[in-house]
Structure 1
């Protein structure tokens, strides 16, 4: 089972790897310095202290030269204190050292206790096995717990600087990848970004150059397709206009023929408009603050002039968001038209805001026969029709146009059959504050 707290990005994994390696290095360094430098120093100091204590008790036993004994205490600064006097001078506040106590017990040949009072100088308290009723105090310079502190601080600073350096290095290494990711997302939405700067390692530079070449090729294909479609549309409209003019000159006795030709011409013009709308990606339209509920009401008001069409609204409050107003209106019009044309004369429109996912949404449901689930996935592809289920006619570009516009808004459009009958088309768009 994969651990959830592990980072998934290359940046996070690299920083974590560097941090773990540095942590292991710091721990090994700390233990090495402790066992090979600090611990021998403690043992040597402990030996010297034990030797001095042994000398103290030899001098106490041997009273042949009391003056030598007095000079020894004066020269070393050592003192012998009773338990009462030691308590008065703060032996209870001194820090107990188990390791030093064990070493001192071995050197003195009995159970000893070692305590150290921090200060300048440090004061070492030893309760010797030779006389457990007294404490021997020995002043020492530059010895005690704080000797380890500079090493700890040094290793900590080195670790922080190393991690910071590794973080900067990895961030610089991943910055071109992030730019490449954002550019790829834009290309997927139909927006061709300007060429990216080739930077980073040689492999990243090669990938960036290949991506720039690919984006340039895609843009060229899009431009060629737009030009080709516009040219074909223009060339088709000219003969259609001539046919319509010629139709108007037919005698009144052939009105039935005239009406059929005019309807066919209008259908062909609608198909041409769909081709143009599909090629035109509405990228030049600027993002403005849009109230989706207002767009829905405007679209419904236009449809109210049709007597046989009924629209039931269930709109919830929605915050305004930055969108392409005309493009989104085209989505609404196409979905409503599809619902009436291939579904039923009664439809319902719902809207709302999913605060947890930060998504605006609206759905259009008809009460028709629906679409088989096996055909759902392919309906958003260009020139794909659902005629098997709903008897659709046309170019098969309506849903493809809708999907392209929704993709430009980083949204999602879905189709599903309602459990009680009919088809539900839902559009979800991330909420971006105006």
Structure 2
């Protein structure tokens, strides 16, 4: 049942304020009923009972002059049923609880009605007296209640608007913190958040700013380290290859040395790609299908018959061509290394033309479901038992380049066998970045 409760801090704050407001109104209502309305109703019933008692006595014992004088002084009229109906009795409203109160005061069954013609009247008829007594109550003119109702409505609206403003101002720093944390999780290092709000929020924001600075520094140090390793190792590898090529070409060790050097150069290239996967530069409007064709045609160690292309007609998108070609190449290499033929490459575009997508599928045995997310982490292989080849950076680079384009990467074991990796990319990633910064 927890899903029925408000989930956001704003909704919870508004719910709490609304609950307190409703409780306050309920208590106010009870107090008004107990100390204002109820005593007033009892006083009204007592006053009406006295008028009725006096009117009955005058009507029974008084002279004609006394009846006229009493009517002029009190305003109480004695009307037959027909006269009462002509004066508006039928439009008056019967109130059972007031009738019961008046019955207790007079000691006999009473029917009481309230009607409003030119003024407010109380209509009373007792069991012992067949006629109706009409008692004017000008001081209870209902028009006087309109300003009170309007005042209560304005107070309620003011309370709700003030509560909404308070809740929004209280939760706005939390929303900014959530957006910054989301950007940080996608590899974008946000600027320092303003430290404002309640003391607890200031402390949390200050801690987040420290964490973001530390993560940014750590990322820079790691990129520098990987770039330094790549740079420092290429020179000795070049010398080793040169020395190997000067050896006897018939020596069986030469081919193995050169092959190992090429593998190491490939690993160093992956280090470089991983280190520069945050550089948001070199974007251009290109067609994803053209990049797929370029990568497939340049795959030297892959049989072209192994690849099946299902490319839908696509609009141009704002992409970094070198990075996207590396993504396609790494996905094909991963499918070749860990899967089996054929390798299916599919592209498409969403209905709103805002996103394009690329899917690469092999027909191998797939990987365990609990490894699908872990396989995109650096230095992690989807299934170590299948192969020890590679550096474990191929799919991590794919994920980083996808995030650099503000894209989404998903992996699943396809029906019928094999691993399918799909990347969805916005056509205008830099425009999305500008919108987020403005927000």
| TM-score, normalised relative to structure 1 | 0.84
Query: In structure 2, what is the Cα distance between the partners aligned to 1:343 and 1:76?
Result: 104
Out of 75, 96, 99, the position equivalent to 1:98 is: 96
Q: What does residue 19 of structure 1 align with?
A: 18
Counterpart in the other structure of 2:435: none
Q: Is the 8 A contact 1:198 1:205 kept in 2?
A: yes
Structure-to-structure mapping, 1:223-302, within 5 angstroms: 223-244=220-241, 250=246, 261-285=257-281, 296=292, 299-300=295-296
CA RMSD of the aligned region, Å?
A: 3.6
Contact 1:26 1:159 (C-alpha < 8 Å) held by counterparts: no
1:213 equivalenced with 2:199 (yes/no):
no
**How far 1:21 moved relative to its partner?**
1.6
Q: Distance in 2 between matches of 1:216 and 1:257?
A: 49
Q: Distance in 2 between matches of 1:233 and 1:372?
A: 33
Residue aligning to 1:34:
33
Q: Is the CA contact 2:357–2:425 (under 8 Å) kept in the aligned structure 1? A: yes
Cα distance in 2 for partners of 1:381, 1:102 equals 80
Does the CA-based 8 Å contact 1:343-1:390 persist in structure 2?
no
User: Residue 191 of structure 1 aligns with which residue?
Assistant: 188
Q: Aligned pair in 2 of structure 1 residues 13, 387: CA closer, same or farther (>3 Å)?
A: closer
- C-alpha separation in 2, matches of 1:201 and 1:374: 41
Deviations 1:162-188 (A, max 9, x none): 333232222212111111111111111
Cross-structure match for 1:426: 422
Moved more, 263-272 or 4-13: 263-272
Aligned in 2, Cα 1:12/1:323: closer, same or farther, shift over 3 Å?
A: farther
Residue 339 in structure 1 maps to residue 338 in structure 2: no
Of 364, 368, 388, the residue aligned with 2:364 is 368
Does the residue aligned with 2:139 lie in a helix, a strand or coil?
Answer: coil
Aligned to 1:67: 65
1:192 positional shift: 0.8
Identify if the C-alpha distance between structure 1 residues 76 and 31 changes in structure 2 by more than 3 Å, giving closer, same or farther.
same
Does residue 379 of structure 2 align to residue 383 of structure 1? yes
Give the aligned partner of residue 49 of structure 2: 50
What per-residue deviation string (whole Å, max 9, x for no partner) do you get for residues 316-340 of structure 1?
Answer: 6778877666544432221112223
Query: Which consecutive residues of structure 2, in runs of 5 or more, have no partner in the other structure?
Result: 432-439
Aligned partner of 1:394 in structure 2 is 390
SS at match of 1:142: helix
**1:178 equivalent in structure 2:** 175
Change (3 A) 1:59 1:316: farther
Q: Give the conservation status (yes or no) of the 8 Å contact 2:367–2:383.
A: no
Report if aligned partners of 2:119, 2:141 keep a CA contact under 8 Å in 1: no
Partner of 1:83: 81
In structure 2, relative to structure 1, the CA distance for the partners of 1:54 and 1:213 (3 Å cut) is same
SS for the counterpart of 1:226 is helix
Partner deviation per Cα, 1:248-275 (whole Å, 9 max, x = no partner): 6x38866977665554443332211100
In structure 1, runs of 5+ residues without a counterpart are: none
Q: After TM superposition, give the deviation of residue 289 of structure 1 in Å.
A: 7.2
After TM superposition, the structure 1 stretch with the greater mean CA deviation from structure 2, 215-224 or 330-339, is 330-339
Instruction: Give the Cα–Cα distance (whole angstroms) in 2 for the partners of residues 310 and 410 of structure 1.
Output: 27
1-structure distance, mates of 2:247, 2:372: 48
Q: Does the Cα contact within 8 Å between 2:278 and 2:400 map onto a contact in 1?
A: no
1:412 aligned counterpart, secondary structure: strand
1:108 to 1:372, Cα distance in 2 relative to 1, 3 A: closer
Displacement after TM superposition at 1:16 (Å): 0.6
* 1-structure distance, mates of 2:315, 2:91: 66
Q: Is the 8 A contact 1:282 1:327 kept in 2?
A: no
- Aligned counterparts of 1:29 and 1:10: Cα–Cα separation in 2: 28
Cα distance, 1:157–1:428 mapped onto 2, change above 3 Å: same
**Alpha carbons of 1:96 and 1:401: their partners in 2 closer, same or farther (altered >3 Å)?**
same
Q: Tell me the equivalent position of 1:413.
A: 410
- Find the aligned partners of 1:301 and 1:110 in 2 and give their Cα distance: 107
Tell me what 2:4 maps to.
5
The Cα shift of 1:276 comes to: 1.0
Deviations 1:208-244 (A, max 9, x none): 1111111111111111222222222222223344455
Shift of 1:292: 5.5
1:109 maps to 107
TM superposition shift of 1:198: 0.5
